Structure 1
Amino acid sequence: MTNRLVRSSSQLSHPLSEPSQRSQHLLTLLFTLALLVACAPGTQAQANSTGYRPYSGWSTFSEQTITSNFLTQANMTAQSDALKASGLEAHGFQYINIDSGWQGSFDANGRPIPNTTTFPNIQALVAHIHQNGQKAGIYWIPGVEYPAVAANSPILGTQYHIQDILTVPYTAGNAFGGSGTSPYHYKIDYTKPGAQEYTNSVVALFASWGIDYIKLDGVTPGSDSYGTSIDNRLDVAAWSKAIAASGRTMWLTISWDLDEDYLSVWQQYANARRIDQDVECEGDCNTLTNWPRIYERFRDLPGWENAAGETVGWNDLDSLDIINTNATDGLSNEERRSALNLWSLANAPLVLGGDLTAIDSFGTQLLSNDEALAVDRTGHPAVQVLDGDIEVWVSNLGHGQYYVGIFNMNAAVTHAQIPWSLLGFRNAVSVRDLWTHSDLGPMPGGFSTLLGSHASRLLKVTGVGSPEASPSTAYEAASAILGGNASIADCPLCAGGEKVGNLGLGTQNTATFNAVYAPRAGEYLMEVDSMTIGLRSYLFSVNGGPYQTLNCSGGSFLVPASTTVPVHLEKGMNSIQFGSPVSYPPDLDEIVIHGNGDFPVPDSTTYEAEVATLAGSVTGGFSNYSSGLAKAGNIGGGAGNTVTFTNVTVPSDGTYQLEIDYQTSGERSFFVSINGATPIELDLNSNTFSDPAPTVIQAQLKAGVNTIQFSNPSNYAPDLDRIVVAPWYGTH
């Protein structure tokens, strides 16, 4: 929830990606400390004696992105009243948080004060919020803004002035300063006398208004300023100390897209940290958010899933835009439910976005389900145990009790089969559906469900028994066969202390594991340990077969994160190659093959457009929110400008679901031909070339290999991200 900056060139470059500002020795110490902090419960107290559980409430920012002049005292009063009238307070929703734009000038001591036109009496507003039984939040960023610097205001209670506490030469105080040489807020030097006192005075002013929550934005390392010299770690510590000195309990969230390399600092001083980009479209689409922005949270979280808890704070997934109509939120009802399920499993703060005065009945229904909301407040954040088209997240409560989330990441209806062994037990003696509030009884072996477009199930399971022993074998990337520019670099926390980077951006830049053994042909689980900052994707090929996709994300190039996907192996030795002909894969630590070859075969198969057969003017290129981090563009406008999938393979003749993920702004058409048949015109409409939108049609396919071609002989077609082929389940 911040004004998003343009993605820095360092994120779109192709590094082995150790940050240039840091020595390897310092990184090793920091990472070791971070892991010790994250993995040793109780070694730290929760910052500022608050935040032992994630908070719930509402923030202005999402609505600010679609409604001009929304940020006013009158509107905040109306939102507070609407929250009270909604009945959601009884379900734990308390906070009314004012985001960026409230400030107008500075007082005599250089402290920010409200714009009196839009916020004529902020103390009265906070008092009204409190009278409604709620808590009030406010937004600020590190450093000192130019007008207070120019005035050289005296610092309250000291002999010092603003210019006495600044870094010299002047430099930017936060991520909004870009390169760091053009200050917006000037950087504070906390080694200078008066620096902590200035921050204390700002927090004391907020406390005098009755503020209960502070969001500190533009914090680096992070906030899309990777590789710059800006460093706000001391600022975060100073704000935390100032809150403690204020005598008022205040929640501190730091934002956004924080660098995981400094996890120990974020855990020590803040109650929550934003681990990802903004969830809002902010002009890239005409709604608050959309499914690709929600899917990004699924990709971001695995790298941080072991970093949260009641002693070290929470992973903030940004606003939960699920309270208004689908046309406003940009999400279907099932997508809204899936978003809430993920936030709850992650124990993330439930920060609602949108207009509380227009909350719809489905939004109220979602946020009144105390069984689902209880998942968010367990103090046991979930971990991902299965990635791919079906994702499974599990919160282990101890004593055989588990919360389980099962998610369909496709628009095509999918049959999910989840063996309990994946969760670490043999049988379930009880299964409860937290949305239907129904007990499903004992379920030996596993769970099976049919999931609609981007739909999910949220279960509470009592598991018993140990699963059968399952072998696993690890293969280090540094020992793989490297092609092209792929190369080895040091990585202290990686297996063997090394990793492989410079993968992708060409068919030759690959890492190939040539001796992956399987005792029999079948479906195995492949754990991929990788590192990246921001969204990246592997395209991998098994035994020279079609490309398969593993979409990843992360907050560090030196802290491995694990994702696990099904993979079919033949008996004996197999070859698995990682890269991406078109786009940016993560750096690779190792792969681990688990199982006996009896994992359920996935229901669907994905085919990426950028690696299909591209003809004429069609090109494959980078696309941040697309599967595989790439798409095919320049389709149509002539009969020869086509995308052809030549290897669409199905087991039998029949009707299948064909999901088409496309990008367009306005109306465009595909002509779709299957196995050379007369093309069918498919009229499509969306509102952005940035984010894919899906449509699902019936397709008649024959057993074996099929060909599907996309074209438009006379007009421009949409861009094409991918297709997904899955069985047809009748009316759905």
Structure 2
Amino acid sequence: MLTVVLALASSAFAQSTVQHRNPYLGWSTFSQQTIDSSFLTQSNVSAESDALAASGLEAHGFQYINIDSGWMGSFDGYGRPIPDTTTFPDIQALIAHIHANGQKVGIYWIPGVEYPAVAANSPILGTQYHIQDILTVPYTAGNAFGGSGTSPYHYKIDFSKPGAQEYMNSVVALFASWGVDLIKLDGVTPGSDSYGLSIDNRDDVAAWSKAIAASGRPIWLTISWALDEDYLSVWQEYANARRIDQDVECEGDCSKLTNWPRIYERFRDLPGWESAAGFEVGWNDLDSLELLNGSADGLTREEKRSALNLWVLANAPITLGGDLRSIDTFGKELLSNDEVLAVDQSGSPAKQVLDGDLEVWVSDLGHGDYNVGIFNMNATVVRAQIPWSLLGFGQATDVRDVWLHRELGSVPGGFSTVLAGHGSRLLRVHGIGKPASAPSTNYEAENATLSGSASVAECNACSGGEKVGNLGLGAANTVTFENVTVPRSGEYLMEVDSMTIGLRSFLYNVNGGSFQTLNCSGGSFEIPASTTVPVYLKKGVNTISFGNPPSYPPDLDRIVIRGNGDFPAPSTTSYEAEVATLNGSASAVFSNYSSGLAKAGNLGGGAGNTVTFEQVTVPSDGTYQLEIDYQTSGLRSFFMSVNGAAATELDLNGDTFSDPTPTVVPVTLHAGTNTIEFGNASGYAPDLDRIVVAPRLGHP
């Protein structure tokens, strides 16, 4: 049985009234609501609570049942939200039932005051004031959903006015009287679609926190969504957790609950927030995990395990989506592994030490112990080789497979494993000794060669106090480091310190070679996030250029080159379609969830409308794995030609042009440079995000 750590909160802890200091585990209605608009009812929530009790997952720490957006019907005589009595005829009875099942209850609300309560101008409980007395004048939107102008639907509260905090106290007191244990406060800004300071809910978050303290009930406070990291100190002081990203659900963009690109977004988000979480400052919330309902979740088994591995390494709250009444055997297997769940409760959030097609995340537990996650970000099968020096020690005296509860013994030098597509390993490692020292050299972006629109801007948190922005959206808008010098040819590590809000991507090249991709995300244009990728450099002077010809890259602070040229070289190579040779109507198109933040569209429908990869390079003749990441809604076909040979038809299916879907096929290539062309002379082809070439391996 998982032992969930409980402790009295210190005065420095984020939301001081809460006794549960560790990330919570539970389930929320919202994911199922995105595919069933009639799902949110008292009877369904009661049935889900019963299903959680019957599943056995409570014994593994899953306690919370969260009632998300849509439960409210009107306002009471004091302007406080009350349930829709058609769908929730007796919410106190529902909450009592959930508590009787040994569970806790969460409820959803938003900052500000909705129009009906404003129009009623209700008195504020226990005061001489009314709702309109506490509003910001002129009227303005109270949250990210609040509309615009002087007559918004959600009205901003001015917490400098008497009665404002008392109103908030009365709302939380009502929730507390029902028995609520968690509040999800949504639409919080700055954040939630990057409203900046035009809508600012920092005072609201503080007021909710104070109201929870005044209620005398221990209530967890989670704030949502895609919070602005520039105001991290506020989020840490007043909330137990903060959502650092958008919704994980497709919400109509695909036919399932979610998909791998939405999970991959969390890998991109976390590096900018990885140092922001802990017992004293709250947790990074990655949103729901879709693990319960087989193919309806939209993830393969390997993808589900990898998603859970990332969540637990991040020490994120685990909020399950889907329908607990139809949980499958594999979902129950994932969620009842106490050794895995203990990683989530360790109080030591992981940090990313390697990015790219192979990612490595490490939690330093102290005393030489580490939790280690190794992730294959491609759909091809790969062999991963991870030197222990990457983790900061020389040798591993003990390695344990956390999922299998299996001791692997002493593993000198490093760890090697074969990973399935989007697969991962979760290890517990005891390391000793220090690795041999390796040189490192910093290169500031503002001192590099700037071309086109690229320009220097102040950045207080940046190395050297400056950064380079206005990159991309044109092949000439670049920053180029022209004097990257190393003593020998080989594979080095390149740390890239960059800043962005939301998804962005660098396309970079080394010594004029093929573009390589670094997909990023973040919550600030002022706070650098560090990611590290392997890069091959020749002996002597090298040039490395950063931009993104068809799309948006982050701002760039600096790069750091580390190592002795002996890091294991990646076995896979990726090629972006948007910067391949586009012919006829084929064109580079912005695509938010695509690698590189763009794809090649308008393919097919004529013999000349093609995309050709002209520099596909492999070391020897043979058959390789070719991953093709495509986008289509319904059936479409590629005709693929390799080195001018007769084309092979690839019939592909998909449910969205928004998010890429991978397929992996064998392809015969010769040593050196190859060309691979995609098109469809007589019919429409899918859009094409990228291809990945990898050696052919047996499945793990």
Q: TM-score, normalised on structure 2?
A: 0.98
Rounded Cα–Cα distance in structure 2 between residues aligned with 1:666 and 1:462 = 49
Rounded Cα–Cα distance in structure 2 between residues aligned with 1:464 and 1:616 = 58
Q: CA deviation at 1:183?
A: 1.4
Name the counterpart of 1:540: 508
1:264 and 2:233 correspond: yes
Tell me, yes or no, if the aligned pair for 1:48 and 1:251 is still in contact at 8 Å.
no
1:303-358 deviation digits (Å, cap 9, x = unpaired): 000000000000000001111112x1000001000000000000000000000001
1:518 and 2:518 correspond: no
1:158-180 deviation digits (Å, cap 9, x = unpaired): 00000000001111100012456
Corresponding letter in the other structure for 2:269: D
Rounded Cα–Cα distance in structure 1 between residues aligned with 2:256 and 2:634 = 15
1:82 and 2:41 correspond: no
Name the counterpart of 1:402: 370
Name the counterpart of 1:614: 582
Name the counterpart of 1:158: 127
3-state DSSP of counterpart to 1:276: coil
Tell me, yes or no, if the aligned pair for 2:194 and 2:228 is still in contact at 8 Å.
no
Rounded Cα–Cα distance in structure 1 between residues aligned with 2:46 and 2:548 = 51
Name the counterpart of 1:355: 323
In the TM superposition, what are the counterparts of 1:63-102 in structure 2 within 5 Å? 63-102=32-71
Rounded Cα–Cα distance in structure 1 between residues aligned with 2:654 and 2:339 = 36
Counterpart among 190, 196, 200 of residue 165 in structure 2: 196
3-state DSSP of counterpart to 1:448: strand
Name the counterpart of 2:221: 252
Name the counterpart of 1:631: 599
Tell me, yes or no, if the aligned pair for 1:73 and 1:125 is still in contact at 8 Å.
yes
Q: CA deviation at 1:372?
A: 0.5
In the TM superposition, what are the counterparts of 1:583-622 in structure 2 within 5 Å? 583-622=551-590
Corresponding letter in the other structure for 2:548: S
Rounded Cα–Cα distance in structure 1 between residues aligned with 2:452 and 2:197 = 29
In the TM superposition, what are the counterparts of 1:423-442 in structure 2 within 5 Å? 423-442=391-410
Rounded Cα–Cα distance in structure 2 between residues aligned with 1:43 and 1:548 = 47
Taking a change above 3 Å as real, the CA distance of residues 545 and 177 of structure 1, as seen in their structure-2 partners, is: same
Q: CA deviation at 1:437?
A: 1.2
Rounded Cα–Cα distance in structure 1 between residues aligned with 2:189 and 2:152 = 14
Q: CA deviation at 1:239?
A: 0.2
Q: CA deviation at 1:250?
A: 0.2
3-state DSSP of counterpart to 1:176: coil
CA RMSD of aligned residues (A): 1.0
Counterpart among 333, 352, 362 of residue 384 in structure 1: 352
Tell me, yes or no, if the aligned pair for 1:624 and 1:690 is still in contact at 8 Å.
yes
Counterpart among 459, 462, 467 of residue 499 in structure 1: 467
1:47 and 2:15 correspond: yes
3-state DSSP of counterpart to 1:397: strand
Tell me, yes or no, if the aligned pair for 1:48 and 1:243 is still in contact at 8 Å.
no
Q: CA deviation at 1:292?
A: 0.1
Name the counterpart of 1:648: 616
1:725 and 2:693 correspond: yes
Taking a change above 3 Å as real, the CA distance of residues 731 and 430 of structure 1, as seen in their structure-2 partners, is: closer
1:170 and 2:144 correspond: no
Rounded Cα–Cα distance in structure 1 between residues aligned with 2:590 and 2:22 = 39
Name the counterpart of 1:118: 87
Aligned residues: 691
1:624-681 deviation digits (Å, cap 9, x = unpaired): 0000000000000000000000000000000000000000000000000000000000
Taking a change above 3 Å as real, the CA distance of residues 635 and 655 of structure 1, as seen in their structure-2 partners, is: same
Counterpart among 653, 662, 674 of residue 685 in structure 1: 653
1:580 and 2:545 correspond: no
Tell me, yes or no, if the aligned pair for 1:656 and 1:725 is still in contact at 8 Å.
yes
Name the counterpart of 1:14: none
In the TM superposition, what are the counterparts of 1:411-430 in structure 2 within 5 Å? 411-430=379-398
Rounded Cα–Cα distance in structure 1 between residues aligned with 2:94 and 2:301 = 33
1:537-559 deviation digits (Å, cap 9, x = unpaired): 00000000000000000000000
3-state DSSP of counterpart to 1:637: strand
Counterpart among 218, 238, 241 of residue 210 in structure 2: 241
Rounded Cα–Cα distance in structure 1 between residues aligned with 2:87 and 2:686 = 43
Tell me, yes or no, if the aligned pair for 1:43 and 1:311 is still in contact at 8 Å.
no
Tell me, yes or no, if the aligned pair for 1:657 and 1:699 is still in contact at 8 Å.
yes
Tell me, yes or no, if the aligned pair for 1:179 and 1:228 is still in contact at 8 Å.
no
Counterpart among 287, 312, 317 of residue 344 in structure 1: 312
Name the counterpart of 1:371: 339
Name the counterpart of 1:570: 538
Name the counterpart of 1:103: 72
Q: CA deviation at 1:44?
A: 2.2
Gaps of 5+ in 2: 1-8
Rounded Cα–Cα distance in structure 2 between residues aligned with 1:321 and 1:550 = 26
Q: CA deviation at 1:228?
A: 5.2
Counterpart among 530, 554, 560 of residue 528 in structure 2: 560
Moved over 2 A (4+): 41-46, 48-51, 177-182, 225-228
Rounded Cα–Cα distance in structure 1 between residues aligned with 2:616 and 2:11 = 53
Rounded Cα–Cα distance in structure 1 between residues aligned with 2:698 and 2:75 = 64
3-state DSSP of counterpart to 2:681: coil
Corresponding letter in the other structure for 2:128: Q
3-state DSSP of counterpart to 2:464: helix
Corresponding letter in the other structure for 2:59: A
Name the counterpart of 2:3: none
Tell me, yes or no, if the aligned pair for 1:139 and 1:215 is still in contact at 8 Å.
yes
Rounded Cα–Cα distance in structure 2 between residues aligned with 1:375 and 1:181 = 48
Taking a change above 3 Å as real, the CA distance of residues 539 and 723 of structure 1, as seen in their structure-2 partners, is: same
Name the counterpart of 1:24: none
Tell me, yes or no, if the aligned pair for 1:180 and 1:228 is still in contact at 8 Å.
no
Rounded Cα–Cα distance in structure 2 between residues aligned with 1:357 and 1:165 = 44
Name the counterpart of 1:221: 190
Corresponding letter in the other structure for 1:277: Q
Counterpart among 395, 412, 421 of residue 453 in structure 1: 421
1:423-462 deviation digits (Å, cap 9, x = unpaired): 0000000000011111000000000000001000000000
Rounded Cα–Cα distance in structure 1 between residues aligned with 2:501 and 2:146 = 20
Q: CA deviation at 1:46?
A: 3.3
Rounded Cα–Cα distance in structure 1 between residues aligned with 2:116 and 2:666 = 62
Tell me, yes or no, if the aligned pair for 2:140 and 2:148 is still in contact at 8 Å.
no
Rounded Cα–Cα distance in structure 1 between residues aligned with 2:524 and 2:111 = 23
Tell me, yes or no, if the aligned pair for 2:420 and 2:699 is still in contact at 8 Å.
no
Q: TM-score, normalised on structure 1?
A: 0.94
